[in-house]
């Protein structure tokens, strides 16, 4: 059994007990409220972890890209949701190959995407489930939830190789469940109600109403009409999740183990991780420019990054570190950080208990 001190840095560590607790908590929440849980695997990109989510009762796994679907098919389970419009014959042929082995649902927001998907189904002898993506205010993908949604659902239902399963949305514009966030949540819920009414009035009852975002995760049962959630980050959590109020520091399972490589400048230490280790993501919706929380020195400020250098200001906190000292850092955004690493190390205390290859890392197509 390896000890953490034997790992070369920077290394991505996953606290196995914290991760398991996070997985169980959300699975229990979903079960308690009768919500389908279709975890987004973009956060961990690792079939072994997708498999654990399936064991804990997931109604399938969510991916963003065909390459992720190909990898995550190894995790098994009831099926895959590709929460992204897939465009182009070549990618669709690959997706059809996945659909030969397990049910595949795609969320999309255009007739063109629906037409291409159905054609691929027809060409390769498979059918696809479809969720029609509606925009409840985030302004990314998604059609208007009233007239346009109705029209697109009818179009989907008319395609030979598509089976309409419901609607999907992503309320990513709710950053914090403060007063403004609660008002936005009410607005989303209201828009969703009107969308569902309009569908019911037209005799179209969606089996799946899929939504949810991390800040609102544990308020999902308040969104009347929604029956499925697709959280991703909850498996590890990060600085953003803590800031949103959806978890505490002790729920952050992922840390970057780094080494102090220079303290030549007074009041500052340099760590061996920068934008190629953490990503350059700043905090969601904020102007604050810190890049992580140093577990051993939470009062210090990780204020700047270059590609391989992290700048930590210890002048105010009074922390002193020597070249060679090791620190653990909770990143701002774990999903993009994981994507930069070849491996993750599962740890308990100071012991490294397992190593996962991040198999869907960089599967951009």
Is position 76 an interface residue for a second copy (rule: CB under 8 A)?
Answer: no
Q: Contacting a second copy (CB under 8 A), which of 17, 178, 307, 353? A: 307
User: What b/e readout covers 226-261, taking b as 16+ CB neighbours within 10 angstroms?
Assistant: bbbbbbbbbbbbbbbbbbbebbeeebbbbbbbbbbb
For residue 98, the SS3 value is helix
Q: Of 119-127, 173-181, 200-208, 278-286, which segment contacts a second copy by CB under 8 A?
A: 278-286
Give the x-and-dash track for 2-31 against a second copy (CB under 8 A): ----x-xxxx--------------------
Is position 286 an interface residue for a second copy (rule: CB under 8 A)?
Answer: no
Using CB atoms within 10 A of its CB, is residue 118 exposed (0-12), middle (13-18) or buried (19+)?
buried
CA 206 to chain centre: 24
Residue 140 CB, nearest approach to a second copy (Å): 6
Q: Contacting a second copy (CB under 8 A), which of 129, 273, 331, 346? A: 273
Using CB atoms within 10 A of its CB, is residue 152 exposed (0-12), middle (13-18) or buried (19+)?
buried
Is position 228 an interface residue for a second copy (rule: CB under 8 A)?
Answer: no
Phi, psi of 207 (to 5 degrees): -70, -35
Is position 1 an interface residue for a second copy (rule: CB under 8 A)?
Answer: no
Using CB atoms within 10 A of its CB, is residue 303 exposed (0-12), middle (13-18) or buried (19+)?
middle
Is position 221 an interface residue for a second copy (rule: CB under 8 A)?
Answer: no
Which residue, 299 or 365, has its beta carbon nearer to a second copy?
365
Which residue, 20 or 308, has its beta carbon nearer to a second copy?
308
How does DSSP classify residue 285? T
Is position 121 an interface residue for a second copy (rule: CB under 8 A)?
Answer: no
Q: Contacting a second copy (CB under 8 A), which of 275, 303, 317, 357? A: 275
Q: Contacting a second copy (CB under 8 A), which of 151, 173, 336, 357? A: 336
Closest by Cα among 183, 129, 126 to 156: 129
Q: Of 97-105, 158-166, 196-204, 321-329, which segment contacts a second copy by CB under 8 A?
A: 321-329
Q: Are the CB atoms for 352 and 2 separated by under 8 Å?
A: yes
Q: Are the CB atoms for 258 and 327 separated by under 8 Å?
A: yes
Q: Which of residues 55-74 bind a second copy (CB under 8 A)?
A: 64-65
Is position 220 an interface residue for a second copy (rule: CB under 8 A)?
Answer: no
For residue 151, the SS3 value is helix
Is position 311 an interface residue for a second copy (rule: CB under 8 A)?
Answer: yes
Q: Are the CB atoms for 85 and 113 separated by under 8 Å?
A: yes
Residues with Cβ within 8 Å of 211's Cβ and at least 6 positions away in sequence, in order, are 136, 168, 169, 170, 171, 188, 192, 220, 223, 226, 228, 229, 230
Which residue, 111 or 190, has its beta carbon nearer to a second copy?
111
Q: Contacting a second copy (CB under 8 A), which of 38, 52, 91, 175? A: 91
Is position 244 an interface residue for a second copy (rule: CB under 8 A)?
Answer: no
Is position 279 an interface residue for a second copy (rule: CB under 8 A)?
Answer: yes
Give the x-and-dash track for 26-55 against a second copy (CB under 8 A): ----------------x-------------
Give the x-and-dash track for 140-159 against a second copy (CB under 8 A): xxxxx---x-----------
Which residue, 95 or 208, has its beta carbon nearer to a second copy?
95
Residue 157 CB, nearest approach to a second copy (Å): 19
């Amino acid at each position: 059994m390896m000890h953490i001190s034997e790992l070369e840095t920077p290394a991505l560590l996953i606290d196995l007990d914290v991760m398991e607790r996070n997985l169980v908590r959300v699975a229990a929440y979903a079960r308690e409220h009768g919500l389908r849980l279709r975890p987004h695997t973009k956060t961990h990109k690792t079939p072994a972890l997708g498999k654990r989510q399936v064991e804990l009762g997931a109604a399938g796994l969510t991916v963003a890209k065909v390459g992720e679907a190909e990898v995550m098919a190894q995790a098994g389970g009831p099926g895959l949701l590709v929460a992204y419009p897939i465009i182009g014959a070549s990618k669709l042929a690959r997706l059809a190959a996945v659909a030969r082995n397990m049910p595949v649902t795609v969320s999309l927001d255009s007739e063109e995407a629906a037409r291409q998907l159905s054609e691929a189904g027809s060409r390769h002898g498979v059918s696809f489930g479809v969720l029609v993506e509606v925009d409840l205010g985030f302004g990314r993908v998604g059609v208007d939830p009233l007239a346009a949604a109705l029209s697109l659902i009818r179009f989907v239902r008319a395609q030979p190789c598509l089976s309409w399963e419901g609607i999907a949305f992503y309320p990513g514009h709710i950053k914090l469940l403060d007063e403004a966030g609660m008002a936005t949540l009410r607005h989303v819920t209201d828009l969703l109600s009107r969308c569902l009414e309009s569908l019911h009035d037209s005799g179209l009852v969606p089996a799946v109403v899929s939504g949810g975002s991390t800040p609102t995760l544990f308020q999902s049962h308040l969104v009347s009409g929604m029956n499925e959630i697709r959280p991703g980050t909850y498996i590890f959590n990060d600085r953003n999740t803590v800031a949103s109020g959806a978890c505490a520091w002790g729920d952050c399972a992922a840390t970057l183990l780094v080494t102090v490589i220079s303290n030549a400048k007074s009041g500052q230490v340099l760590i061996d991780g920068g934008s190629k280790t953490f990503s350059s993501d700043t905090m969601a919706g904020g102007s604050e420019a810190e890049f992580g929380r140093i577990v051993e020195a939470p009062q210090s400020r990780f204020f700047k990054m270059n590609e391989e250098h992290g700048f930590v200001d210890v002048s105010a906190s009074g922390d002193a570190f020597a070249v060679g000292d090791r620190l653990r850092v909770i990143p701002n955004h774990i999903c993009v950080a994981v994507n930069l690493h070849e491996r993750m190390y599962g740890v308990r205390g100071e012991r490294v208990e397992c190593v996962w290859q991040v198999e869907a890392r960089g599967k951009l197509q």
